[in-house]
Amino acid sequence: MAAEGISAATTAAVAAHSWKDSYRGMSSDNIKGLILALSSSFFIGASFIVKKKGLKKAGASGVRAGIGGYSYLYEPLWWVGMITMIVGEVANFAAYAFAPAILVTPLGALSIIISAVLAHIILREKLHIFGILGCALCVVGSTTIVLHAPQEREIESVGEVWELATEPAFLFYAAVVIIVVLILVFHYIPKYGQTHILFYIGVCSLVGSLSVMSVKALGIALKVTLSGMNQLTYPQTWFFTMVVIVCVITQMNYLNKALDTFNTAVVSPIYYVMFTSFTILASVIMFKDWDRQNPTQIVTEMCGFVTILSGTFLLHKTKDMANGSSPTHLRLSKQTDEEDGFGQEGIPLKRQDSLRT
C-alpha cells in the first residue's frame, strides 16, 4: 500500500512537471507584441467612430462626402480620427517586431468589436443580440490564440531574416503568389472584377501576406537598430522597405476598387478571412512558427482562428439588424447611412443604383 502511494505521488509529480514544461507562459516579447496589438485594435476601432462623427458634423454644414464633398477636411474631429488610426497602425507595425504574425494578425478582429460597441454607445446604432454573440466569439477565439501562440523566434540581425526569406520553401510561396496575382490582374480582373468580389480581395490578401512578412522583417531591423546594432547599412533592410511600399500601394489600390464596387459589409469579413489565412500561412512557411509547437497547440490555435472567423461573420451579418425592424425600415435607414457617405449594408453597390433608379 505504501509503495502504491509513493508511486502515485511520483506519477502526479512527473505529470505536473511535464505540464509546466509544456506551458512556460508567454515570453516578454510576446507580451509586448500582445499589448501593442490590443492597443492597435483599440485605436483603429475608435478611429472609425471618431471619423464618422466628424463626417456627420461636416455633412451637416457642407457637402457630404458621399456625394463628392470634402468639407470634412476642415473638420477637426475627422482629423482626430485620422491621427487615432495612424497611431493604431504604428502600434500594429511595432507589434510584428515583437510577436509572431499568427498572434498579431487575428487580433485585428478586436477592432471590429470596439467599433461596434462604441457605435452602440456613442452613435446610438443598435447592436443586435447576434452581434453581441459575434463579439463574444471573437473574444473567445482571440483568448484561445493568445494562450497558445508560439514564442517569437530569436532573431538578432536583418541577415537572419534574409536567410529565412531566401529559403526554397518561402521563395516557392512568394513565386506562386506573384504568378497568381499577375494572372488575376491581367486576365481575370478586367473580365470579372466588377462582378466577382474574390478577384479584388484575392489580390489584396495575397499581396498583403508578403507585405506583412516584409513589415515584420523591417520591424525586426528597426528593433535591433534601436538596441545598438545598426541595421540600416544593410541592403536587405532597404529591400524589405521597398517590398513594403510596393505591396502596400498594390494592396490599397485593389482594396479601394473592391470597396468602390461592392458593399463594405461584404468586403470586410471576406478580406479579413483571406488576408489572415494567407498571412498565417506565409508566417508558418517563412518563420516556421509551428516547428516549435506540438500538434495539440496547433489544432487549438486553428480552433481559435475559426472561432474568430465565425464571430466576425456573425457580427457583420447582423451589423444593421434591429429587433422588430421591418425590411422597409431597414432599407430606409441604410439609404440614410449611404447619403452620409457610408454606403448601404448587405446590398452590393452594383445593385444600389438599380434600386434607386
Least confident of 6-10, 102-106, 162-166, 193-197: 6-10
The pLDDT of residue 77: 84
Give the integer Cα–Cα distance in Å for 317 and 19: 40
Who wins on pLDDT, 264 or 143? 143
- Rounded average pLDDT over 138-142: 88
End-to-end CA separation in angstroms for the chain: 88
CB atoms within 10 A of CB 214: 23
Instruction: Yes or no: say if 211 and 248 are a contact pair by the CB < 8 Å rule.
Output: yes
The pTM assigned to this predicted structure is 0.72
What angle separates helix 235-261 from helix 349-356, to the nearest 10 degrees? Answer: 30
Q: What would the grid cell of residue 4 be?
A: 502504491
Give the tens place of pLDDT for each residue, 206-254.
999 999 999 999 999 998 898 888 898 899 999 999 999 999 999 988 8
Task: Summarize the confidence of residues 56-60 as an average pLDDT.
Answer: 76
Phi, psi of 147 (to 5 degrees): -70, -25
The C-alpha cell that represents 152 in the structure block: 517569437
Name the DSSP letter for residue 184. I
Q: Do 189 and 261 meet the contact criterion of CB atoms below 8 Å apart?
A: no
Question: Which amino acid, 45?
Answer: G
Residue burial 277-305, b: 16+ Cβ < 10 Å; e: rest: ebbbebbbbbbebbeebeeebbebbeebb
Please write the tens of the pLDDT for every residue from 118-129: 888 887 777 778
| 327 grid coordinates | 425590411
Q: What is the mean pLDDT of residues 63-87?
A: 76
Residue 135 or residue 2, greater confidence:
135
